[in-house]
Amino acid sequence: MSTGAGKRLENRVRTLESIIKDQRSSLNLGSLLDSVTALALDLNHPALRKNKNIDSFLNRYEKAVTRLKELQVKLDDFDRVKLIGRGAFGAVQLVRHKASQQVYAMKQLSKFEMVKRSDSAFFWEERDIMAFSKSPWIVQLCCAFQDEKYLYLVMEFMPGGDLVTLTSNYDIPEEWAQFYTAEVVLALDAIHSLGFIHRDIKPDNMLLDRNGHLKLADFGTCMKMDSSRMVRCDTAVGTPDYISPEVLMSQGGTGYYGRECDWWSVGVFIYELLVGDTPFYAESLVGTYGKIMDHKNSLTFPDDIEMSKKAKDLICAFLSDREVRLGRSGVDEIKCHPFFKNDQWTFDTIRDTMAPVVPKLSSDIDTSNFDDDIKDDPLGTETFPPPRAFAGNQLPFVGFTYFREDQLLNQNNKCSEEDSSAESVNEDHNLNQAESCDLQRRLKKLEEKVKHEIQAKEELENKCRTANQRLEKLSKELEEEVNARQAVEDSLRELEREKALLTHQRSQSIRKAGLETDRKRLLENEVSSLKEQLAELKKKNQNSQISAEKNIHLERQLEEMNAKLQAEVEESERLKKAQGEALRQSQQLDISLREFQERLAQLESSRQGLEQEKLSLQTSLQVEKRERSLGSETINDLQGRVSGLEDELKHIKSSLSKAEAEKRQLQEDLTALEKEKSKQEIDLFFKLKAIQQSLEQEEAELKATKARLADNNKINQSVEEAKSEDLKNMEHKLLEDRSAKQQLENRLMQLEKENSVLDCDYKQAKHELQELRSLKEKLTGEMEVLSVRVQQETQKKTLFQADLSVQRQEISTLRSSEKQFKQELNHLLELKLSLEKQNQELRREREEADKQLKELKDQLEAEQYFTKLYKTQIRELKEDSDEKAKLYKDALQRIEDLQEERDSLATQLEVSLTKADAEELARSIAEEQYSDLEKEKIMKELEIKDVIARHRQELSEKDSTISSLEESNRTLTVDVGNLANEKEELNNQLKHLQHKLDKSREKEKQMKSLILSFEKQIESERTLKSQAINKLAEVMKKTDVRPQQGNNTDIRRKEKENRQLQLQLRTEKEKLNSTIIKYQKEINEMQATLAEESQGRLEMQMALDSKDSDIERLRCQLTSLSIHSLDTTSISSTGNDLEGDDAYPGIYLSIYLSIYFV
């Protein structure tokens, strides 16, 4: 017990130590130190120090925090050289570390700005990408620290500048654009593989190292992707000329896009390299955004610039809609594009090739490739205001501190190391070749020995593989049956979904047909009323020209209404036809559904519960349909529906609270029972120890009696002979008892193995305590009646077997009760999840209803506004007509009367038309909303059924896997003993090989240093040989070179020199390729031998570790069993005090408790 507890404590300490040392852990050493510093800074204010607890805390830790600030990395450890960049949230400075004299780029960010602009500033993402990425295409972070006002990111310095300066100094040909685009693609793939989207790809964020290769920087706009490789954001982040349409549309809404937005920016980057300007540039920001949204028409290529068809095709593939954009399916389709095909490099070797432009550097702080016009203004001095209460301004930055080991504060200069190693390579080359040959011979011998050991290990593993093969066969058969059943269930669910949709469409078409007939009747009534009005007007206005014009106007309106009526009639006929087709389709689907139902007659028994739920949902659906059909015309009915949904939501919340209360009560009962169980087990353990002590005392008394008998035997030989015969008989009986006891112990061990697999819950603990108490009472009774143990032997055996059978039955009942309890818990969890989903759906429906109410209110307000306008116009017309009537009152009295009648009729007609249009519009909107809600409800019901079926299937699969794992566990425990013996043999062999492997490690290190020297030599030769061609290309492409002056002789002379240089380069390249091939072969051979040796050693070590863990676990059990077996043998060896079979229950009890507590 003490050794096991000590090991557990040691393991806990080790895990805690690993968590603190892990840089990726949220509880690493830097995070803990940051938390103490941040808490001290946030509490150190006069208003907060009035609290006694805060004041005592600061008095205790204030000095320690100041000491911690002095010891940690700070701004005073660096000398500022120059400002090389400025961004939206901070500035980048070139600095030199005082201790190591190394040069770095340090980014300074204001904490106040980070908190203020938390929606667009992603400093955690920038820190994690540079800190934990090992890609050569991403700028590496050396360390990160902070003070009270600012955050600092110390990064590797990129002396080549950005691509903006490169494009301003050179005319970029298509070959260069091909090279830099390929490196950008690889860098973006590295960021996407980390699970981030950059969202601000542009030449300003593409930096060049001292060799001219590209690296991405400025990850302040990066965002973490979710499980579906997508991002949700409601703000448009990025540079306007490079932003994609989907990111632009996310402004003010809920943007949902993926990594394809970065590939859009790559297309803009290629266009800018080849053309010299961005494709959607405009004088205003609105114009740029308009061109981006209309990219299909606004993307053009200038005629005066030569560009290949491959480049145009790549740009068009990137600058397209997100659904068809290149790179949406992965980076492999970009790599396969014909634009990247060339003879000089591939995507795997591009990092090792010579860059088109290698920057010329005069020193390690050369900033000639950066912009010199950056104003060296200080950052914003705005800080957090002094708080009146605890604000926690420093808490968002806890854990920001980071330090890369062996990167910063390295006193040895890397450049000097590289120079010294390059000088010593040529001197030690011959010696290293001889040593490498000798090492190869020794490695081959070791390889053969390791192969023999691997063969022996494989023979041991075959035993485990046979068991795994059996399990795989059974699992395959089970999966085939489950897949077949699932396919049939899926087809049935699809048919049910189609049937439900068709029934919904049929009901909608029937309802629309009824509405169309009602509309037709209304139109016919209106036409008849208009005809009557027209007839009356014709009678009144026979002698006036004005009445004739009115009649013409009314006739036109009548014709328009007739045309509308005809269109409505045609629409109703079309709907009737569609209804007939839907009925036919539904009949066909019913036939096919019946066929499937006949095939699935065997599965219907498991689906009866779902069918009942379906019927209940359908009845509730029909009730809701009736309620909604009554309230689809007016806004008041919609408000009533919202209130009903709110009542249902309250009911669901109350039911959820009840379910959670029941769950808490069950958990409290479970914890109480577990505590009671642990107390009873401890009491039992101490009682068992007391019994063992009493047995040991009796054993000591037995030994004393034996000693007395030995003394008496010397005195009386006759008595000795008689007693020797008695002792022989007793020993014979003891041997028989021991054999029977061994059989019972083996049987008990099997039973204990089965019981150890089961989870001992609170019911089983109570039952076992009762059994142990009964066993204790039996033991006390049997100790008193030792004289009749021979006669009671058979009776005790039968009683023991009966106890075992009773125990098995009780175990089975406990298993069934445990399963029922688990099923009840799962059922409660499922109910909770379903209620939460219904709650969310009701909230969504309520929000949609609120939106619809707002829209309808807006429409009503608009209609009221128009009616007011019409009324004002009518009033103005009436005033004009009154003025004219006063002037022509005597002459035109009859015309005035007719005009008043006409105005009244016109106003009535306009009012009726506006009312009809408004009612028709509101009715159509309500019908569409109703139909959409019906479809959504049907789809949600079908989804709920699919989820329920899936959950039940997963439960059945988990039960089957649990049973299969239990069987495999029983079979594998038998093989553990054999593996223990084999492990001892392997340990002896490994000890023999360990000494040889240590020697091989030292030689392996020598070989690695030799390989590194060869690689450096190859790189130096490669750069020297290819520098001439790149130098010539760089000079030819320079834009600021003056036009050549001279005659034809100078040109010819230069052409001859060029040819000679090309011939020299060819010869040097051939020599270089031959040496590279030779060295590469040697390196590959050495690496292969080393890899094989290390792989074999790792496999052997893993096998030994696994066997060590198994043997250690079994050793604890064997020690406890051996102790208790010795106790039982000593008890059984007593002739006059204790019988063997009487000790069996005690043995059973001791073995059980030893295994349980181990």
* Cα angle, residue 349 at apex, residues 345 and 355 outer, rounded to 5°: 65
* CA gap 626, 616 in Å, rounded: 16
Would you state the structure tokens that stand for residue 1086, as one six-digit string?
């050495």
Give me 620's structure tokens.
């509730």
Quick one: tokens of 559?
């014709």
% helix, strand, coil for the chain, step of 5: 75, 5, 20
CB 272 within 8 A of CB 278: yes
Name the phi and psi angles at 78, rounded to 5.
-125, 145
Long-range contacts of 647-655 (CB under 8 A, 24+ apart): 648/842, 649/839, 649/842, 649/843, 649/846, 652/835, 652/838, 652/839, 652/842, 653/839, 655/835
> Encoding tokens for residue 1008?
């690695």
Report the distance separating Cα 255 and Cα 125, nearest Å: 19
* Distance of alpha carbon 882 from alpha carbon 874, whole angstroms: 12
Name the active-site residue from 200, 241, 1141, 1142. 200
Q: How far is the CA of 834 from the CAs of 483, 654, 663, 706, 940, in angstroms?
A: 26, 14, 16, 76, 12
Residue 108's SS3 state is: strand
Q: Let me know: does 234 contact 254? Beta carbons within 8 Å.
A: yes
Residue 959 annotated in active site: no
- State the first-to-last Cα distance of the chain, in angstroms, to the nearest integer: 7
Longest CA span, the chain:
172
> Binding site annotation covers 878?
no
Long-range contacts of range 417-422, CB-CB < 8 Å, 24 or more positions apart? 418/1016, 421/1012, 421/1013, 421/1016, 422/1016, 422/1017, 422/1020
CA atoms within 13 A on the CB side of 680: 19
Q: Strand 90-97 and strand 103-110: pairing? A: antiparallel
Q: What backbone phi and psi angles, to 5 degrees, belong to 90?
A: -175, -170
For residue 986, what are the contacts with CB-CB under 8 A and spacing of at least 6?
A: 453, 456, 457, 1100, 1103, 1104, 1107
389-394, Cβ contacts within 8 angstroms, sequence gap of 24 or more: 389/47, 389/48, 390/42, 390/43, 390/48, 391/42, 392/42, 393/42, 393/111, 393/115, 394/37, 394/38, 394/39, 394/41, 394/42, 394/111, 394/148
CA nearest 45: which of 382, 397, 389? 389
Exposed e or buried b per residue across 157-183, where buried means at least 16 C-beta atoms within 10 angstroms of its C-beta: bbbbbbbbbbbeebebbbebbbbbbbb
Instruction: Give DSSP secondary structure letters for 189-202.
Output: HHHHHTTEE----S
Q: Where are the alpha helices (DSSP H) in 631-716?
A: 635-715
**Token reading at 281:** 């540039």
Given the structure tokens 């300066």, which residue do they identify? 165
Phi/psi-derived region of residue 202, left when phi > 0, alpha when psi is between -120 and 50, beta in every other case: beta
For residues 282 and 268, give the distance between their C-alpha atoms in angstroms, rounded to a whole number.
Answer: 14
Annotated binding site: 107
Annotated binding site for ATP: 107
Which residue numbers are catalytic?
200
